[in-house]
A = this chain, B = another copy of it.
Amino acid sequence: MNNLGNFLTLSTFGESHGIAYGGIITNFPAGIEINFEEIQHQLDRRKPGQSAIVTQRKESDTVQFLSGTFEGKSTGTPIGFVIYNENQKSKDYDHIKNNYRPSHADFTYDQKFGIRDHRGGGKSSARETINWVAAGALAKHILPKNVEISAYVSSVGEIFCEKPYQDLDFSKIDDNDVRCPDAETAEKMIAKIKEIKKEGNTIGGTITCVIKNLPVGIGEPIFLKLQAELGKAMMNINAAKGFEYGSGFCGAKMTGKEHNDLFNEDFTTKTNLSGGIQGGISNGMDIYFRVAFKPIATLLRPQESFDKNGNPIIVEGKGRHDPCVLPRAVPVVENLAAFVLADLFLMNQIRKV
């Protein structure tokens, strides 16, 4: 229920300025050799403080696995992990204890639960995604080795990476701070983020994700369609506002004659407006989707608002905040996708006798 995944499941906990984050993964198959360094590497890609265009909160974000592996391999039993918070500065948030920041979850949490851990947004902080990166990087071990999942920043504000994904070299995604593999566009994006940051402002953008070499057959006919499971996962990311796959919203303008993907003799398709999925099930072609992210709501500049009693106040973010969520969201999208795929991959193993 409050899990990610259906057969392979992830349960998580943690608040931004609490003691720790962590999670439990169940139904992970036995006998898989785990590359713990690769998992930590994925967390490092998401870590604060890694460049000038992200928050300077100091966290090592070191994940410790507490169970479920033995002598480097999975044992088939639940895998628990924990990531301790190190740089809690609860005092930084005293000023928002009774205040409602615009476009934050302060008001809705208070209304829903009648109580709120206000420190750094508590449970509503995007720091929760640290759990998803750890779990997704682990889940990726379940997929066939040749499955490649590559996400990159495809737009920042009005600056778009206009090359189709086929023309990009995904090995260059991490070559720059913004994680756009097209160097020229990346430079413009970085300049834009720096400019926005200087104003104490923030900016939105999109991430594109491409999945190559996924076997045919992944996804289930109803309620667990591959695109629905990917969409659900992505729409749970904190600032996500939209999801599209294949032709997406553009496809809604087309006719069937334009949109249908004709087959080749080997059952690959000549075009791929379908985005690698038919009837909710992978067809062996590339899967690609795009996620829209709004600008982060915390501004380092004054905004008018109200406290919980309805008194007018001025709120102003202090200290350590991201001007743009995109660069750090790239590993979140990738690893979250890995988790979704691993879950559906396992289910597909027992679909026919």
Contact = CB atoms under 8 A, between A and B. Distances in A.
Interface of A: 1-4, 6-7, 9, 11-15, 18-24, 26-27, 29-32, 64, 66-68, 70, 73-80, 82, 100, 102-105, 107-109, 111-117, 122-124, 128, 155, 157-158, 196, 199, 201-206, 216-217, 220-225, 227-236, 238, 240-249, 251-263, 265-267, 269, 273-275, 277-283, 292-299, 301, 303-306, 310, 312, 346-353
Given A256-B295, A260-B299, A278-B104, A352 B114 contact: yes
A235 B289 CA distance: 12
Q: Which 6 A-B pairs have the closest CB atoms?
A: A105-B279, A13-B80, A242-B244, A202-B256, A232-B232, A30-B113
A217 B112 contact: yes
Nearest to A224: B2
Contacts of A267: 100, 107, 306, 310
Contact of A295 (B221, B259, B351): B259
A112 B214 CA distance: 13
B66 A278 contact: no
Contacts of A233: 228
Nearest to A79: B13
A22 B66 CA distance: 9
Nearest to A345: B350
**Copies in the assembly, this chain:** 4
Contact of A108 (B251, B281, B298): B281
Max count, chain B CB within 10 A of own CB: residue among A4, A32, A105: A105
Given A77-B122, A204-B251, 13 more contacts: A4-B223, A11-B11, A20-B66, A30-B115, A77-B123, A103-B274, A155-B253, A232-B235, A238-B279, A243-B243, A257-B299, A265-B310, A349-B349
5 contacts: A12-B24, A232-B232, A244-B244, A265-B306, A266-B310
A283 B112 CA distance: 10
Contact of A117 (B70, B352, B353): B70
A224 B235 CA distance: 10
A262 B80 CA distance: 34
B351 A2 contact: no
A179 to B, nearest CB: 15
A220 B2 contact: yes
Given A2-B9, A66-B13, A66-B20, A256 B206 contact: no
Contact of A279 (B15, B104, B243): B104
Contacts of A75: 113, 115-117, 122-123
Max count, chain B CB within 10 A of own CB: residue among A7, A22, A249, A347: A249
Contacts of A26: 1-3, 11
A108 B236 contact: no
A27 B12 contact: no
Given A26-B1, A223-B236, A267-B107, A254 B157 contact: yes
Contacts of A13: 24, 66-68, 77-80
Contacts of A73: 115
Contacts of A80: 13-14, 20, 22
Contacts of A243: 231, 235, 242-244
Contact of A281 (B105, B205, B217, B247): B105
Contact of A252 (B222, B242, B310): B242
